[in-house]
A and B are shown apart, each in its own frame.
Chain A
């Protein structure tokens, strides 16, 4: 399917009057997928999702159906589904738009996924800042209880489910799935050492699935239209790479930074960053050129201008040295911007958000920020560049020194910025100039 013929799936109901109400959702065919799923066996629902090739939209791209099969087969007692609505990766806002505009699409996906995973209590973890989303969801959930779409014996199927909203408290680390679970349990959001993985021992020490909001929104469409339809969109598996699981389905791309039209665009997986910027975001602002582009939230690092033809599918960004597709949140940085300022901003974010459990992450994020502060203050040394590289190479789950992936996300912008823009760092340090952008004392 070409991008020109593509009709939005997840954003199809955007901007319609009262798109958030049950009445309009049903009028557009809503909850038919739920009725269909409830007439199937739960394992059949899992099989369809597995066959569709759907991979999680929260950042890691793990195959959703496969994750569900990791739950123990015969377990007595509860299984939990946690919906990850912590969305805090800089550049990312697709969950917010999905919830505000079309909450029932997400909730229908949650009920179907809960049924598939034999969950009878689901927790929707929502970042506190999304107050409007919270109120929209609360109303939508009330409507569902009043219409036998939640609670006991849903649509006469004998299946029971409760969904509870749980508000976060402004901490990025609550998006990491085991940090989320700890936070849900009322503790500090310290990610857990894995294994055990949540499917075996998660929330309240019970088998648990954690899935992203956009992942949930895909589910009703897969049930309605089938696995083949989903696989007709996107980028197929690489036949030469047995480990590639393909990049199927529609994807929400967030575009922000130095473009004329920042916003949310839905396309089949695999558009290039260049087309996304030029055809869907009005091009780089002020007639300038892009210097660097973040492919999927700042954790994923940077692509240089000459890498912009890279397809934004699960495999593309990795081929040019980025960490991955992440959240597909594209941030455009124009050629008037200093990469020193950009990297400082990224490092400061991770220093602020590190939970502090692992020494390489706690110290690495703090010291890299201090080094960049010094460089921005005109007191950098050329040896600082290699020092930053050394720090970035020694923290994360990839070198195996930390508990969670926050540290890999902190390391990647450092690695990419220095490998791809090293002359700019050298020139900056040699000139001894000070940054013009305001840096507030004590602002971190």
Chain B
């Protein structure tokens, strides 16, 4: 059975027409797979490589450069929450916010809560320093957050 969904294949196919090289579709392909599955498995890598006429090592080389992608040993929770720790956010409590969430959820940055709901990540500047400290949930920014705001938004109250 194919690891890539028919949607993923369709997205990859659409992107092939946009670039003069197949390799340029590497990031779009990795994105669609991770968005669907929460990780990019070894099988997915080799199927992407087949479509792009590359070796799996080339896909893996790119994948591993960007800390953004997860392998099947280390999949994401249902939601991925990034807390910014760069200077403007640090000056307005970013470090304290991250430390507080680590202690409330009993995990370290990079880890997922025991119920598999939330992966907590530390981010460098998210481009929302006007709303420091800020967070990113998947790919949506929320400005000026407290630990309670974060919990409400990603764990629905509690």
Contacts and interface: CB of A to CB of B under 8 A. Distances in A.
A175 to B, nearest CB: 11
B20 A262 contact: no
B20 A188 contact: no
Interface string B101-136: 010000011000000000000111111111110001
Contacts of A352: 124
B141 interface: yes
Nearest to B22: A186
Nearest to B93: A437
Interface in B1-28: 18-21, 23-28
Interface of B: 18-21, 23-28, 30-31, 52, 61-62, 65-69, 82, 85-88, 90-92, 95-96, 98-99, 102, 108-109, 122-132, 136, 138-141
Interface of A: 78, 87-93, 95-96, 121, 127-132, 134, 162, 164, 166-172, 183-189, 204, 206, 254-258, 262-264, 294, 298, 329, 331, 333-334, 337, 341-342, 345-346, 349, 352-353, 355, 437-443
B83 to A, nearest CB: 11
Given A131-B140, A169-B69, A352-B124, A92 B129 contact: yes
B129 A331 contact: yes
Contacts of A167: 27-28, 31
B36 to A, nearest CB: 15
B125 to A, nearest CB: 4
A131 B138 contact: yes
A78 B20 contact: yes
B124 A187 contact: no
Given A256-B88, A264-B130, A438 B95 contact: yes
B66 A95 contact: no
A263 B68 contact: no
Nearest to A444: B122
Given A132-B141, A166-B27, 11 more contacts: A90-B88, A90-B129, A128-B31, A128-B139, A129-B136, A129-B141, A164-B18, A171-B66, A189-B66, A346-B87, A437-B96
Given A90-B125, A168-B27, A169-B66, A345 B108 contact: no
A166 B30 contact: no
A374 B104 CA distance: 28
Nearest to A206: B20
A88 B28 CA distance: 20
A341 B85 CA distance: 12
A285 B126 CA distance: 22
B96 A186 contact: no
Contacts of B124: 88, 90, 172, 349, 352-353
A342 B128 contact: no
Given A91-B125, A172-B124, A188 B130 contact: no
A262 B133 CA distance: 12
Contacts of B52: 186
Contacts of B69: 169
Given A345-B87, A438-B99, A262 B132 contact: yes
A186 B139 contact: no
Given A256-B88, A438-B99, A129 B127 contact: yes
Contacts of B61: 187-188
B96 A166 contact: no
B86 to A, nearest CB: 4
A129 B66 CA distance: 13
A91 B87 contact: yes
A169 to B, nearest CB: 4
A128 B68 contact: yes
Nearest to B29: A186
Contact of B127 (A96, A262, A355, A437): A96
B33 to A, nearest CB: 13
A25 B136 CA distance: 29
Contacts of A171: 65-68
When A and B form their complex, which 6 residue pairs have the shortest distance between CB atoms, in order from nearest?
A: A131-B139, A186-B26, A188-B65, A256-B129, A169-B66, A256-B88
10 contacts: A88-B125, A91-B125, A92-B125, A132-B140, A185-B23, A186-B52, A349-B87, A349-B124, A355-B65, A441-B108
A440 B24 contact: no
Nearest to A294: B87
A440 B123 CA distance: 13
Given A93-B130, A262-B132, A438-B99, A331 B62 contact: no
A218 B110 CA distance: 40
A257 B30 CA distance: 35
The interface centre, meaning the residue of B18, B68, B126 with most chain A CB atoms within 10 A of its CB, is B126
Contacts of B108: 440-442
A43 B2 CA distance: 51
B38 to A, nearest CB: 15
A159 to B, nearest CB: 19
Contacts of B130: 93, 254-256, 262-264
A162 B17 CA distance: 11
A185 B21 contact: yes
A188 B140 contact: no
A409 to B, nearest CB: 13
A129 B141 CA distance: 8
A438 B122 CA distance: 14
A295 to B, nearest CB: 13
